[in-house]
Amino acid sequence: MSGHTHAHGHKHGHTHGHTVTAAGRHRWRLAVAFGLVATFFVVELVAGIVANSLALISDAGHMAADVVTLGAALVATRIATRPDTTGRRTFGSYRAEVFASGFAVLVMLGVAVFITVEAIGRIGAAVDPAYEIMLVVGTLGLVVNLMCLALLRAGSKESLNVKGAYLEVLADTLGSVGVIVAALLVRATGSAWWDTAIALAIAIFVAVRALFLGREVLAVLGQHAPAGLDPRQLGVELERVAGVIEVHDLHVWQLTSGMNVATAHLVVAPDCKEDALGQASALLRERFDIEHATLQVESTPESECGGATW
């Protein structure tokens, strides 16, 4: 900060509101969806084995990933809202939701690899899937998935963890459609190749979707700026606060979905500390949805309050 004389003392401003994570608000939806998916997973797996259908078994494997994803989401939301009795987790365990989403990505990739290996192994093999069972179970699976999508839709817009579960169920909905299509094609052509082809298509789709979700998880763990928030624009807006001369060391990131965090140093005129701090905190909270902010105020005697305006 050349050209400025800094005061020896620094003032810190904090805007810590009572935060309830987005996933926590939708925990009951996750619980109901988990019950539905876990129950149907067993039904579909048994039906796939009985029908000798790789498409059904593949979709059951994908539904197993749903079970893990939803279960991990439930556990993560419980951990994230659990009181810290040690006093060491000053931000609680909110990152548990992000780690659960990362685990879901690994499960999806594992399922994709398994389906691919099984599909390749069946190419040219003599199999005779029971298309009647495939059609009935695929239709039931579609109904279950649509119910889960309706439950999770609202939360998917607020929480990375719920979004992961929602996308997992959405993909499984397409998997159920694939099973229905495979059953109809097997019946129409008499060829079991369609069962294998649909299973392989499911694997590719799961893998691609897992990569997209994984990129979002890595962005949070890498403490990137939240999507849709431009740190440069944030700095410009802070410098428009009355009395603020300069903003430096500005950092903004996501602790978990729905919880943005920021730190910054504000160089202000000596008589403007309290006003500038209050206005800057309000700006972060109201315009940028940043409830957790630490602002370090540095004063300079060379400027007067009111030198900057909105």
Q: Where are the alpha helices (DSSP H) in 128-246?
A: 131-156, 160-189, 193-221, 231-239
pLDDT of residue 4: 41
Q: Encoding tokens for residue 133?
A: 């069972």
Q: Which domains does the chain have, with CATH numbers?
A: 22-221 (1.20.1510.10), 225-299 (3.30.70.1350)
Distance CA 195, CA 54 (A): 6
Q: Closest Cα partner for 100 from 162, 166, 180, 151? A: 162
Helices (H) and strands (E) in the chain, counts: 9, 4
Strand 11-14, strand 244-256: pairing = unpaired
Distance CA 74, CA 34 (A): 9
Comparing 39-53, 107-121, 158-172, the range with the smallest average pLDDT is 158-172
pLDDT of residue 38: 94
Residues 90-117 pLDDT 10s: 666 777 778 877 887 888 888 889 888 8
CA distances (Å), origin 86, targets 1, 89, 90, 240:
40, 7, 9, 41
Give the global pTM: 0.72
307 or 199, greater pLDDT: 199
